[in-house]
Chain A
Amino acid sequence: MTDLTLNDMDDATPNAGRAEKLYQASPRQLMWWRFKRHKVALVSGIILLLAYLVTGLAEVTAPYDAFEGNARATLLPPQALHLFDSEGTFRGPFVYATTRTRDPVTLRPMYKPDTSKVVPIRFFVTGSKYRLWGLIDGNLHLFGATGTDKINLLGTDTLGRDVLSRLIYGGRISLSVGLIGVAVSFVLGLTLGSVSGYFGGMTDNIVQRSMEFLRCIPTIPLWMGLAAALPITWDPLFVYFLVTILLSLIGWTYVARTVRGRFLSVKNEDFVLAARFCGTSETKIITRHMLPSMTSYIIAALTLSVPDMILGETALSFLGLGLRPPVVSWGVLLQEAQNLRTISQAPWLLAPGAAIVIVVLAFNFLGDGLRDAADPYSK
């Protein structure tokens, strides 16, 4: 065991001081060392931080507004990013302007890059006005083009709206659904899991059976049924809130199972017995002594339940039962790519799908890494 944990530490630490440092390390430090060894989890964590940062600051990071359409550039394919122009001289990042023609037979718009006209990408340009988080007015965008030129790195949709910008705005909703849903399932799972694990007996039986029950209903039809009951006329934000609660109604079981398992194993540890002998109240034993000892497990379980929420929201919105336009979420965006004709004409509309896959995988890897690091004293 000692060997393995020794390897968890930084390689920079000199060998002689290693054992000493290991024995003095706090649990948190041990966890961090072990987590760092899980490279994929580390990278996933960074990807997720970036994703939340970019979507959190969507007004600044998105080059355009989510609803700003351009009738002259509908279903524009993604523009290729170049560094060198056709003569081979370095021009910094740029795209070629596009010329629009119509297909003589189908009358569909066709676009061709115009290699004579370079549209440089500038950073921190002024563009459309926005109000960041409804508080701060501004018009500065992380990147964009100056003048009348536009850049659409991921192309445009049927109304000529920038897919990249919509992707970033949609991510704000889709990613936060996971966090809010997790907060709700955290409360439910923690309460029911700890009660069920600590008291055991009949209480445990009831909680276990209801969890089993929730797990054996096919989630999508149930979610669909409940989501369809939400009136269309309600405020989109309120619907968004209710959808997240619906998702966490099933998501809490995973957290509760982990918490219960930990409670069962910690229940008979010496420190709990000691607390009980001192006459500490049950509530205090649970909240002050037992729960803090399993924080890391809970965090790992929460991380692992986020992707289910994100997938649930996406699936519901994709079916048109969850969030509805004008709210932009990844599921809502994918609704546009629902039929074969659109996808074969404009495969770039599937971009939100790629974003979902990346985020869900990153959460899974991060959760795996956290779970492994949660118990730094094990092998």
Chain B
Amino acid sequence: MTSYILNRFAWAIPMLFLVSIAAFTVIQLPPGDYATALVAEMRANGDTPPEGTEERLRHQLGLDRPMYEQYGTWIGNIVLHGDFGTSLTYNQPVSNLIWSRLALTVAISFASLLLTWVIAIPIGVYAAARQYSFLDYFFTIFGFLGRGFPEFLSALILMWVAYSWMGMNVGGLFSPQMQDAPWSLAKVGDMFGHLWIPLLVLATSGAAGLIRVVRANMLDELNKPYVETALAQGLTEWAVIWRYPVRVALNPFISTIGWALPALISGDVITSVVLNLPTTGPLLLRALQSQDMYLSGSFILILGVFTILGTIVSDILLAISDPRIRYR
């Protein structure tokens, strides 16, 4: 087991390196650099910077050094000092801006993962145990629809339904009157009044696919002799189902967390933009639009790192639940 875990972590190192390269590329891609932007800003403010300012700045900031050196400085600062650079638009260290938003993104992704399971497992098990029943067909249709609806569209529609039929204003994380209020029970309640839409949107789109997986796995297990044996012992049907085949059927389920995470974070980014939630999504979008590259690069880096770590955790969970995997 230890060697399996170590092996997984060893594989993560090149992955993390690649993610950092990808993020650095995003920082470098747009034409011009920080020096160009600074000089342009000075000009916009009515200053006339002396001849050669741009080159001097570039030299001062180390932007004229070769790419690999710049990459080294950038990643070195992050790893050693937790310094992600400075956001150009906010004129603040990036690390000041991102952690609270990242925390919310992780919280929402995690909560919607749990909700996905709460929705998908019982429904999938039921649909398999009562194959071809009315509810089975109903959830099959639901599963297909979930595959077809892009997250931002379901967020838009839910928002519209909540607004026009339930009279709720659901954008943002808090109601306007609660925005600056100190934390209290009422504020937490208010937050949940706003959070249910993103959670529902993310959980349905994930659950739609997972219901099919659980159902297919359960159908494979239900016909096995051990189920019949258990039934012959006189246990009730549901006691048998929940105690034995479900456990086996959930194995492949755990392995898909690794794929579910990137999808959830992607979904969270776009859903938050639609719903105007203070997560990474809207800030990343704004950073990209204003070409605030240190900010956006850091987001991409951290989101990538989170997903890789999530994948490792899911692999380890899978190894714990299924011994065949560690010994392969």
Contacts and interface: CB of A to CB of B under 8 A. Distances in A.
A129 interface: no
Chain B interface main SS type: helix
Nearest to B288: A228
Contact of A225 (B263, B266, B296): B296
Interface residues of A, number: 41
A320 interface: yes
Given A219-B262, A229-B30, A360 B284 contact: no
Interface in B250-282: 258-259, 261-263, 265-267, 269-270, 273-274, 280
A365 B144 CA distance: 9
A341 to B, nearest CB: 10
Contacts of A226: 26, 29
Given A225-B288, A225-B296, A228-B289, A357 B149 contact: yes
A217 B262 contact: yes
A347 B160 contact: yes
Interface in A330-357: 334, 337-338, 340, 343-344, 347, 350, 353, 356-357
Interface stretch (A102-110, A163-171, A208-216, A290-298): A208-216
A356 B299 CA distance: 29
Contacts of B30: 228-229, 231
Interface stretch (A55-63, A135-143, A149-157, A311-319): A311-319
B262 A224 contact: no
Given A225-B288, A311-B150, A218 B296 contact: no
A229 B284 contact: no
Nearest to B307: A216
B285 A224 contact: yes
Chain A interface main SS type: helix
Contacts of A216: 15, 258, 261-262, 304, 307-308, 311
Nearest to B31: A231
A224 B273 CA distance: 12
A218 B288 CA distance: 16
Nearest to B292: A228
Contacts of B26: 222, 225-226, 229
A361 interface: yes
A318 B15 CA distance: 30
B269 A218 contact: yes
A221 B303 contact: yes
Interface string B5-48: 00000010011001100110010011100000000000000000
A374 B280 CA distance: 42
Nearest to B151: A315
Contacts of A224: 269, 284-285, 288
A357 B153 contact: yes
Max chain A Cβ within 10 angstroms of own Cβ: one of B152, B259, B284, B308: B152
Given A225-B296, A228-B296, A229-B30, A219 B156 contact: no
Contacts of B265: 218, 221
Interface string B176-205: 000000000000000000000000000000
B122 interface: no
Contacts of B270: 220, 315, 318-319
Chain B interface residue bracket vs A: 35 or more
A347 B157 CA distance: 9
B244 interface: no
B148 interface: yes
Nearest to A352: B153
Nearest to B109: A218
B156 A321 contact: no
Max chain A Cβ within 10 angstroms of own Cβ: one of B14, B22, B145: B22
A358 B149 CA distance: 9
A213 B15 contact: yes
A340 B160 contact: yes
Contacts of A221: 265-266, 269, 280, 284, 299-300, 303
Nearest to A220: B266
A128 to B, nearest CB: 31
B102 interface: no
Contacts of A340: 159-160, 163, 169, 171
Given A209-B11, A217-B19, A315 B152 contact: yes
Contacts of A228: 30, 288-289, 291, 296
B269 A364 contact: no
B262 A319 contact: no
B299 to A, nearest CB: 7
23 contacts: A209-B11, A213-B15, A213-B19, A216-B261, A218-B263, A218-B303, A220-B269, A221-B284, A221-B299, A222-B304, A311-B150, A315-B151, A315-B152, A319-B270, A319-B273, A320-B289, A321-B289, A343-B156, A344-B163, A350-B153, A353-B156, A358-B148, A365-B144
Given A218-B304, A228-B296, 5 more contacts: A221-B303, A224-B284, A224-B288, A231-B31, A340-B160
Which A-B residue pairs are the 3 nearest by beta carbons?
Answer: A229-B29, A228-B288, A220-B266
